[in-house]
Amino acid sequence: MSEKKANSLLERYNKAVSNRDEFKGRWEEAARYMAPGRAGFDYEPGSNKQPYVYDSTAEQAMHQAVNMFMSMVIPPYTRWAELSAGPELAPYILYLQGNVSPSEKDVEKANEEINKDLEHITSQVFNYINGSNLFESLGPWTYDFLIGTGTMLIMPSDPTSGLSRGSPIEFTPIPTYEIAIENGPYDRPTAICRKHKLFWRDRYLEFEDWQDPPNCGHIDKDEKIEVIEATVFNEKKNKWSYSIIFKNQLCLERLYNNNPFVVSHFSLVPGETYGRGPATHALADVKTLNKAKELTLKSAQLNAYGAYTLQRNDVPNVNNVRIFPGAIIPVKQNKGSSTAPTIEPLPTSGNFQWQELQIRELQQQIRSAFMIFDLFPTERTDRMTATEVLARQRQWQMNNSALYGRICNDLIVPLMQRIIDVLSQTGRIALPEWFTKIDYTNLKLDVLSPIARIQNGQDIESLTQAMQLTGQIAPELVNAGFKVEELPYYFNSMLGGRTKFNRPQEEVERRLQDMQQAPQQAPEMPENMVS
């Protein structure tokens, strides 16, 4: 049974690999120019990955985009997301408690209690995240994401091990050349496989429940073995089956509630398995710029060091002529005159001004392709006005709203869900009975990273404009038409503040009543004290 299942998984893996190979050429070209340090399909340790790269604009733009992505989406050692109650969770809990038709105040009070519990869970989760290797793993992952598809493996680890950082969770960025994805309904992954190598002696360090297949006694401990990690969705159990295959045998098998591989696409064409990112979008400009820079350098060499023609009496063979800096080219006669010098410089051609203009334009287009996370351009040295800042924010929102949605759904939500699942299974955090998956009906995940605050700024701006217009008609309509007492909660939530600093609703109502009664109870001032 074990061998039969292993063969079935290997068959699915081979089909996924054949589908992956259709994208291989595009990935290799993008990585060659923009991430030459990344290992590829033809990787050899110590090999020179950029022997024919003449311009570093694309590589620098890629590196800057990676840093901007990390600071805008998942900034290190900050709380970039927070759990909160969905609209149906509190009524459901009250229903289980016997309150069939709860009032609005009952729901608000229940939400306050639920959010307190979720605030505590979020705090615990981020304590473990900050102690893990997530932030150092995000850099390599982002390079693959900007090419098209990034994959992160999230597994439990032993915090007492000498190889561990003391965290019960381990993040592993999976290079694109190791991964093979099989898509199912709705273009979502149903099987994710990975081929990688490890030393035979390290198999128990990486997989503590590893079981040696038969006839493995001859393997040397220093020998590298090749294994297949296969994660397949089990529709009968509604779980993910994680298996390790070695020598056509299953060496271990586990069940997880969530996919241990978090696969994120920058942009996905319907019907395709792998995404396309700014690195592939700008590939034509990058290749054109590289060739233009190569020709410009060759032209500059000829102008700087020159090539020369040498007059000789024999008949030169044109098939042997090579033009390069410092070359001596034999000719029968210079300039068609018998009095011409025996040796003279070879005339060169070309327009350096046009070459420079073409190169600058290509470099600017490449930088623009990677400046998706750069809200304020670095070439601006003067201070921008508040109006200009708002205009840039609106433009950024229009250009990147779809990208923001994909990042939330493809990366942040599954990443957080998998982290919570690992910490819960290992007993690091205790979850309430009502805790469900993040579905935005029972349980929400509020994104608090800078990219989310820019998106939320538009909602805040719309609300404040509506209140200002209402106040211009009649100031008293603002308090009559808007729930002004709930605005602090709203602003704190949209700007990424923590809910633990919010006062309870009952205390807010009591303070509002005290403020209304204060002017009426204030003693009158004597006339001789009025100035």
Confidence of residue 288 (pLDDT cuts 50, 70, 90): very high
Give the torsion through C-alpha atoms of 365, 366, 369, 375, to 10 deg.
-80
Tokens of 480: 């009559």
* Residue 190: partners with Cβ closer than 8 Å, 6 or more residues away: 182, 183, 184, 232, 233
pLDDT of the residue at 530: 46
* Secondary structure (H, E, C), 202-254: HHHHHCCCCCCCCCCCCCCCCCEEEEEEEEEEECCCCEEEEEEEECCEEEEEE
pLDDT tens column, 302-312: 888 888 888 87
Tokens of 97: 């408690």
- C-alpha 525/C-alpha 530 separation (Å) is 7
Higher-scoring residue by pLDDT: 511, 270? 270
pLDDT of the residue at 317: 77
pLDDT of the residue at 508: 73
DSSP per-residue letters across 92-124: HHHHHTT-SS--HHHHHHHHHHHHHHHHHHHHH
Residue 483: pLDDT over 90: no
Q: Are strands 261-265 and 239-246 parallel, antiparallel or unpaired?
A: unpaired
pLDDT of the residue at 496: 65
pLDDT of the residue at 351: 76
pLDDT tens column, 13-72: 999 999 998 888 888 888 888 887 765 666 555 566 666 788 889 999 999 999 989 988
What H or E segment, with its residue span, contains residue 136?
Answer: helix 134-147
- Of 184, 186, 198, the closest CA to residue 229 belongs to 198
Read off the pTM: 0.81
* Residue 495: partners with Cβ closer than 8 Å, 6 or more residues away: 453, 456, 460
Q: What percent of the chain has pLDDT over 90?
A: 36
pLDDT of the residue at 444: 93
Confidence of residue 338 (pLDDT cuts 50, 70, 90): low
pLDDT tens column, 391-443: 776 776 677 777 888 888 999 999 999 999 999 999 999 999 899 889 999 99
Query: Hey, how many other C-beta atoms are within 10 angstroms of the C-beta on 331?
Result: 18
Higher-scoring residue by pLDDT: 74, 317? 74
